[in-house]
Structure 1
Amino acid sequence: MEMMQQEEVAAAAAAANKAGSEVTQNQTIYINNLNEKIKLEEVKKSLKEVFSAYGKIVEVLAFKTLKHKGQAWVVFDNPESASNAISKMNGYPFYNKPMRIQFAKTKSDVIAKADGTFVPREKRKRHEEKGGKKKKEQHHDSTRVAMPAYPGVYGSAPPLSQVPYSGGGGGVKSNLPEAPAPPNNILFVQHLPHDTTPEILQNLFDKYHGFKEVRMVAAKPGIAFVEFADEMQSTVAMHGLEGFTIQQTPMRITYAKK
């Protein structure tokens, strides 16, 4: 058993050393594989006691969030102390689990404040978002330059005969089909004979579970809205009655737009 524990510690140390070599040496060490059953305050206190032997500790960071469980950061006042701590303590069994230690990838806030490079997290986030937006705009501009000139897009306007037109006073409109409404609990029924009554539709849809009511629009004969308790029940009714004929006219049923 003791031999197996030693092998486990050695393997953990080798893995952490390899990861640590890829990160620039700095004053903060990153520790993971900590025992998650130990209370957070006790872990922080014990880490400070253990690592204070290798230099002055500025702060010990550990968090309760699920994302940061089993992890901690120890900030020394100089990189040499951090390097010494890694070489001596990597793989050391801490609460019966070997610690995996490497240099932290980023500088801690307390060190950044001390050397004048600190940027508040909100300001840093806005700067990153602004940079991402700028890159997106630059990509959009380069795409426009790369595309050939086309009348009405990047050149002069096309002749009116080439513009899709819907008629009426609405001007130019796209002739692309309109996207259907997403599934929901209300159905939109079309192509009804103009003398269709709410009672006729109620007798049809009432056979399906969850039926609530029929609503017709007096100003627009030929259409109706049928409401169910939930979208699953409305879907069953839609598939059951789609194309059902009233006075030789097949109904058209879709989900209503909300």
Structure 2
Amino acid sequence: MAEVAPPEPIETDQPQSEIPSETPQDQQQQDGDVDMTPKGEDQQEEKEKEDEGEKIPEDACETLYLQNLNEKVRIPVIIETLYSLFKPYRPLQPVIAHRNVRMRGQAFISFPDIQSANEARKDVSEFPLYGKPIQISFARGRSDRIVKKLEGVEKFDEHKAKRLEEKKKRRRDNPLRQKAQAKLKAEETGAVPAKKQRLQMPDEYLPPNSVLFIQNLPEGTTSDDLREVFEVHAGLVEIRTIPAKKDIAFVEFADENAATVAKDALHNFKIDGETKMKVTYARK
């Protein structure tokens, strides 16, 4: 049998043992079929994002500020519901909610510590309470109750005095208040600025509305008198008189159609047998 010559050695500047070989893993990475990023890095990034959301803001305090509460729900019901909703986070009594127009739909609730407040903020935020998602943030300052409990009476008195002083300052700096004071001062000195005339659409041409505006009422007309006149028409909802101006009133109906029927029927009606009352749509 003829002898087979062995293959000639590969010429290279490197030793044979140092020539890198291509592995299936290298081929896959070149082809782009496999993401070679370690899974642990993705998990680490997700964890870092979660930790970022868990961080407590530097200006956090033990009191939360709640907004977007349903204004149609009575204040005692809102207070009781909020206390029950936040009960797992140990809320402190009382829950603060006001009836005045400026604070309507808002509330304040305090907790024993910032950690509890932060947990409540994260867990309850956007909860659909009475059909509206609650918006929650940390209050701008600590409540009187928290300061008194954690700092003592002396610190509480100092905190309260500072808070009242800041409140007075905000009122002094309020642009609307400053404008009113400037107007009053101008009237006292006789330098009343000329008012810019603003054209308004006459009452008779206002668009349809479910609320009617009643004018030229005779002296002594009561809401009961108006009710007797307007309740003969279907859909009557409410009658609102104005104590400061007894010759006008507002009458609300369930819809525009019902209001229109009543307006057409009662315009120039003599409620006392002599004085014609004027009935138009109210301005929206």
* TM-score after normalising by structure 1: 0.40
- Normalised to the residue count of structure 2, the TM-score between the two structures is 0.36
Relative contact order (alpha carbons < 8 A, sep ≥ 6): 1 or 2 greater? 1
